[in-house]
Structure 1
Amino acid sequence: MSTTTTLRVKTPPGFRVDAAALRPLALAAMSIADIERIVLPAGNDRCMAGDLFDVLRGDTTPAQAGDGTPTLVIDGSVQWLDRVGAEMDGGYLAVHGSTGDHSGFRMSGGVLRIDGDAGHFTGCEMRGGRLTVRGNSGDFAAGALAGDMEGMTGGTLTIHGNAGARLGDRMRRGLVLVGGDAGDFAASRLVAGTVGVAGQLGAHYAYGMRRGTLLLARRPAHWPATFVGGGHGFDVFWSLLVRHLAAEIAPFSQWRANRLPARYTGDLAVDGRGEILIAG
């Protein structure tokens, strides 16, 4: 069983801090004293990890992590802590509270679990691994930074609550599931990949969608003029997708292969090779 490193929040610092250096694989090889001396950027200033956290070591690993997995636990809400799990490439990172912006930014492996809410750009340009947000997320989840051409290109992002605007913007690959509502421009400029929304959608969803799949648990209140009904012979694809979703959050895990969804294709203003599947 691996050793777990726990960072217990002391007092919120009153300014924003960059947590990109706090990754499970890196901290597993360091002593407590070395972890306390890690320098964290804070705007135009900086601080040490020991100023913000009590650093603890234990021999217990969360059951979700699995034996032998380097594990990092951040104990407490850290809305002031940005880039939690950024560029993470392995291990298990759990946050017992909410986080700031850019959580899971460009992560390529491992598991990041946030028990509260996450800020803007959650899973932004994510490349692999699994990111779970038990609460809500802000805008641009699984999207791209301003000026970049690709959003999420791999992995799985699950948001149990609501997502903000521009969910999956410029997404190219991977799976995003939202248990609640999504804001405006969900799955906008989607190049490929799968985005699922269980609740309501904001305006302009699937805008500029070139390829990929938007999964809906209910029919939207308004319908884009650039999508048309039709499409048959996708029952094999649907059965494979449903099997993959069986381990994910409801209602997606409850869908069955013998009940085909309604299918619509578009956005005809661009390539017209994307699809919206309504399984509700």
Structure 2
Amino acid sequence: MSLRITLSATTPPGFRVDASALLPASLAAMSHAEIERIVLPAGNDTCRVGDLFDVSRREDAAGSAAPHDDATLVIEHAAPWLDRVGARMTQGHLVVHGSTGDYSGFQMAGGVLDIDGNAGHGTACEMRGGRLTVHGHSGDFAAGAQAGNMEGMSGGTLTIHGNTGARLADRMRRGLVLVGGNAGDFAASRLVAGTIGIAGQLGAHYAYGMRRGTLLLTRRPMQLPPTFTEGGRGFDVFWALLVRSLAGEIAPFSQWRTASLPARYAGDLAVDGRGEILLVN
């Protein structure tokens, strides 16, 4: 049984709204009226879904009445006043037509979140699993940690087709992050583990305090960090497996089947780091 729920934003409310309750699996178990009565936090106040959205619910009658694990939720005319879209999502498919506010995909653990516009700060913050795609740009602290926390993204795949802000993947410890555009200052800072690919230009202080993990670069930076040293051979098998795993991702990362072995730089030696920067020719 397939289910598609559509929420079409009407008049902008004039304040920010926490949309973390709008998850495909949760809404699949509700009737049309129950969805409209959902209460959403909005600063120091609250509002109902029916006050902000026109709700439609379309269900395919074919098949059995099994739980809607594959339910699809579509948010039309989304705007940056919608925060925490897809937060703590575990299953289903959430499609956003428009842009979102801060903390999209916060602590997301499964499912698919697709944003065809821009996303605010904290995108995929502390993400644990699933796939999150931003077709536009994202703000600061994507795939990072909440203020005061020690671990950023720890699983899943984040793909940003455009540019991203500062502190990309700060304290990340597992997962895959791919950026088709530029990244701001302190990209891959304090990286514990995981793989980050950046196709565009880098800001200052990238790979600062990097302990482990891999940073893939398609453009040679103006200057390599002084705490990284050139060297490292014998990673042919690792490179072949990595290229194969990126085959279905965004360009240019999906186009490296014939790429020669990249130049490798190890560091950050200031923290006895065992990370690596791979510069693809």
1:89-168 alignment to 2 at 5 Å?
89-168=90-169
Letter in 2 for 1:247: G
Question: What TM-score does the superposition give when structure 1 sets the normalisation length?
Answer: 0.96
In structure 1, the partner of 2:15 is 15
Spell out, residue by residue over 1:155-196, the C-alpha distance to the aligned partner (whole angstroms, 9 max, x if none): 000000001000000000000000000000000000000010
In structure 2, the partner of 1:196 is 197
C-alpha RMSD of matched pairs (Å): 1.2
Letter in 1 for 2:41: P
- SS at the partner of 2:93? strand
Shift of 1:93: 0.1
Shift of 1:257: 5.6
In structure 2, the partner of 1:218 is 219
2:253 equivalent to 1:249: no
1:211, 1:270 → 2: CA distance? 10
1:21, 1:134 → 2: CA distance? 23
Letter in 2 for 1:250: A
- SS at the partner of 1:166? coil
Kindly indicate whether the alpha-carbon contact (under 8 Å) linking 2:98 and 2:117 is maintained by their aligned counterparts in 1: yes
Shift of 1:256: 2.1
Letter in 2 for 1:72: L
- SS at the partner of 2:270? coil
1:142, 1:51 → 2: CA distance? 32
Kindly indicate whether the alpha-carbon contact (under 8 Å) linking 2:259 and 2:280 is maintained by their aligned counterparts in 1: no
Spell out, residue by residue over 1:209-246, the C-alpha distance to the aligned partner (whole angstroms, 9 max, x if none): 00000000111112110001000010000000000000
Shift of 1:77: 2.5
Letter in 2 for 1:7: L
Spell out, residue by residue over 1:35-65, the C-alpha distance to the aligned partner (whole angstroms, 9 max, x if none): 00000000000000000000001247xxxxx
Q: Which runs of 5+ in 1 are unaligned?
A: 61-66
2:272, 2:202 → 1: CA distance? 22
Question: What TM-score does the superposition give when structure 2 sets the normalisation length?
Answer: 0.96
In structure 2, the partner of 1:38 is 38
Q: Which runs of 5+ in 2 are unaligned?
A: 61-67
Shift of 1:258: 5.5
2:206, 2:81 → 1: CA distance? 30
- SS at the partner of 1:27? helix
Instruction: Report % sequence identity.
Output: 75
Cα pair distance change 1:68/1:191, threshold 3 Å: closer
